[in-house]
Structure 1
Amino acid sequence: MKTLNKVLEGLMSRYQERVPDVLKISNALIKNNVIKEQKDIENDHIAFRTMGVKNLGIASFEKIFLHYGYTKEDAYFFEKKKLNAHWYKPPNDKYPRIFISELIVDVFPDEIQKIIKSYTDEVTSDPVDQLNLDNAEEVDTFLHSALWRVPTLEDYNKLMEISEYAAWVIYNRYYLNHYTITVNNLAKGYNTLEKFNDFLEKIDVKLSDAGGFIKKSPDGLLLQSATISQLCKATFANGVSKEIAGSYVEFAERKVLPEFKHLPLDKIERKHRREGFEAANADKIFESTFTSQISKT
């Protein structure tokens, strides 16, 4: 598992640099004696966005984590946003779940497809097949390297008009989209999403209200919230700069399944709690990087 550990460490180190809220939240939890250090936080899942085109998309990207012992679980379809997704169960409970989504490029108007494929067509074979997946440094470099040329601001803006998800991926590529703090194992007063959101408000962390500040599954057992994406300076082709949506932080509360409610709290493990994801929740979580949310900050 050393390779997987190093890959995850590489993802998190760069992600933290792009998302100041990560350390802001961790430091506040340490200050309030909720945790001793950042690694005490349980990472519920991490998420990636991809383009559903030849040589890329879920079929390519998932090979990395399947190699490390993850298993492919449920599929999801987001009709309005034109996305497919899968989640992946980790080899053991020490590791986060993985959520990978992809844009269904072929259903978009020809002009949009042409823009996207002018970039993605530069990838002429599956890049994951060229990697030594047992070499953590090689995988880490790949996850933070350009897959295609730097887009023009004009192309980015055209994509923004039709699909903000497409625009995000065309610039940000495989950068970690978000990581997720599990709240249910934190100290009392922080171990429900309602209480945790109150804590976030007190430290001036802005939450997305898409679908409500708390998104709840129909069974009431999975609750999720997310920050509004933080802006990052993007340098487009010809050196043109603009602040655009980067990444964000998510929060999850997984309640104990009814059949395990009799267990004492110190006996509760991940397997006793609500597993998987909820399409309606995820649909709104995607909007953390959308202009409709960022304009509120």
Structure 2
Amino acid sequence: MAIPVLELIDLLWGKFRAMNPQAEQIVDLLSARGDSLQNDHIAFRTFNDPRIGVAELAKSFVAAGYVVGDEYHFEAKKLYAQHFEHPDPALPRIFISELLLEKFDAPVRKIVERMVDQVDQQVRDDNHPLCIAGRIWQSSYSDWRQLRDVSEYAAWMAAHGFCANHFTVFVNALTSVSSLQELNQLLVEHGFELNQEGGVIKGSPEVFLEQSSTMASTVSVQFSDGVHRVPGCYYEFARRYPLPSGELFSGFVAKSADKIFQSTDSRS
């Protein structure tokens, strides 16, 4: 029996908070100001191996009624992505990206193939959704460093596997701030480091979406060759604007998302 989607989202949120203490701090900060947070979207990462690609990762959500909203291409980062929406607007969008392995040299592909070959079939059925499976392979810090030098995205996957890469505050629903700029200022005043790549705010009202994010918390990960500190998850903030039709824009802007990906870049 498949896990109900609301229960699945709660499980994802619990794992996300455990990996990203700043999320709890930000929730507490905004709650103390009278805000009840609404989630805009949840994002996941994977590789384009058919055993664990976008279609596999999306299965639990599609079974719950989610449908594909749009697709995105990130040439520089060698990524492909889709987002999924549910007819119930109270449910968050799902954004799933995958690294295009064929665009990398043999050493990178060899490391990833060695990891993916460890994936057990049991984590890919309805009772064990892939999106909450965590790191289901052994990988070394040496692997992480080798991947990091080519793709921070691939290194993050080697360290963390399948979990929510980030949750996202829907800024439109906040009442204690009137703009993303005001929210960012509040976060900086309380000591949170924001992603500066391409500017603190990615996007604009002209493309109907503004986004910002914290830099990922640094967390301890047990690799096969010891415990090491690496970037974990981050918290994102999105403000959406109405289209000429009056309907709120529901998709994503590839140019902005490209910079958001760098919230998990290592700083050493």
The TM-score with structure 1 as length reference comes to 0.85
Q: Choose 248-257 or 211-220, whichever is displaced more.
A: 211-220
1:69 matched to which residue of 2?
65
Unaligned runs of 5+ in 1: 133-137, 261-271
Counterpart CA distance in 1 for 2:134 and 2:21 is 21
Aligned counterpart in structure 1 of residue 133 of structure 2, from 144, 157, 165: 144
2:178 matched to which residue of 1?
191
Deviations 1:90-143 (A, max 9, x none): 231111000000000111101111111011122375942x334xxxxx438x71
Q: Secondary structure at the match of 1:242?
A: strand
C-alpha contact (below 8 Å) 1:56/1:126 kept by paired residues: no
2:22 matched to which residue of 1?
21
Q: Secondary structure at the match of 2:239?
A: strand
Residue 156 of structure 2 is aligned to residue 155 of structure 1: no
User: Where has structure 1 moved over 4 Å in runs of 4 or more?
Assistant: 124-127
User: What residue identity is the alignment partner of 2:154?
Assistant: A
Larger Rg: 1
Residue 10 of structure 2 is aligned to residue 9 of structure 1: yes
1:229 matched to which residue of 2?
216
What percent of counterpart residues are identical?
34
Counterpart CA distance in 2 for 1:119 and 1:220 is 38
Counterpart CA distance in 2 for 1:124 and 1:247 is 25
1:78 matched to which residue of 2?
74
1:172 matched to which residue of 2?
160
Aligned counterpart in structure 2 of residue 250 of structure 1, from 228, 236, 244: 236
Q: Secondary structure at the match of 1:228?
A: coil
Counterpart CA distance in 2 for 1:143 and 1:29 is 27
Counterpart CA distance in 2 for 1:27 and 1:123 is 37
User: What residue identity is the alignment partner of 1:184?
Assistant: N
C-alpha contact (below 8 Å) 1:55/1:126 kept by paired residues: no
1:145 offset after TM fit, Å? 4.1
User: What residue identity is the alignment partner of 2:241?
Assistant: K
Q: Secondary structure at the match of 1:190?
A: coil
1:280 matched to which residue of 2?
255
Aligned counterpart in structure 2 of residue 55 of structure 1, from 51, 56, 61: 51
Aligned counterpart in structure 1 of residue 114 of structure 2, from 110, 115, 118: 118
Counterpart CA distance in 1 for 2:135 and 2:214 is 26
User: What residue identity is the alignment partner of 1:181?
Assistant: V
1:250 offset after TM fit, Å? 0.2
Root-mean-square deviation (CA, aligned residues, Å) is 2.0
Aligned counterpart in structure 2 of residue 131 of structure 1, from 126, 133, 139: 126
Counterpart CA distance in 2 for 1:2 and 1:147 is 19
Deviations 1:36-87 (A, max 9, x none): xxxx211000000001113111121111110010001211111111100000
Counterpart CA distance in 2 for 1:17 and 1:147 is 18
Counterpart CA distance in 1 for 2:60 and 2:27 is 28
Counterpart CA distance in 1 for 2:153 and 2:174 is 32
Paired residue total: 267
Pair 1:199–1:179, CA change in 2 (3 A): same
Deviations 1:138-178 (A, max 9, x none): 438x7134422x20111111111111101111121012100
User: What residue identity is the alignment partner of 1:179?
Assistant: F
1:267 matched to which residue of 2?
none
Counterpart CA distance in 2 for 1:211 and 1:52 is 27
Counterpart CA distance in 2 for 1:78 and 1:273 is 24
Aligned counterpart in structure 1 of residue 39 of structure 2, from 22, 40, 43: 43
C-alpha contact (below 8 Å) 1:224/1:250 kept by paired residues: yes
1:199 offset after TM fit, Å? 1.2
Residue 90 of structure 2 is aligned to residue 94 of structure 1: yes
User: What residue identity is the alignment partner of 2:136?
Assistant: L
Counterpart CA distance in 1 for 2:212 and 2:51 is 33
